[in-house]
Amino acid sequence: MKKIFILSCLMLMCCANCVYAQGMVYDPTEYKVEENTNITNSVKLPSKDEIQTNINASTRLAQEAVSAQSDNFNNALFELDNAQVNIRNELLDYKAKYQEIDTQYQLIKEQRRILAEQIKEVENRIKAIEKSKNNIRKTMI
């Protein structure tokens, strides 16, 4: 709390120092202007033709900037359209590959099912032969 109070007092003193300086930096003591001196302005004002020329030039520059900006936007839109077409083509390629792999998967899945049935059928035959062998052995004894 003390640190905050001290820092705020220092900041206030720095700001107050600038405020109470009363422009001493801006009013040097070596240079004094007499109050009776007449200062005349020798500034030349532009004519109406010069003003109109400047207005026309600034309007032309603004129109060129707008047309350049619209050309940039049109080029950007064209590039985005091309990118979109490329991405759609890539999507079609991926879908075709997916369909091909899916077809292969379905085919392999069907072959696996058929082989599983054949294996069960052969195992059942083996079990039946084993049972008949056991029955024959029992009858022989």
Read off the tokens for 50.
């010069």
Rounded to 10 degrees, the C-alpha dihedral 106/109/113/116 comes to 160
Using 50, 70 and 90 to split pLDDT, how confident is the model at 77? confident
Of 74, 75, 78, the closest CA to residue 86 belongs to: 78
3-state SS assignment for residue 45: coil
Using 50, 70 and 90 to split pLDDT, how confident is the model at 30? low
Q: Give the CA radius of gyration of the chain.
A: 49
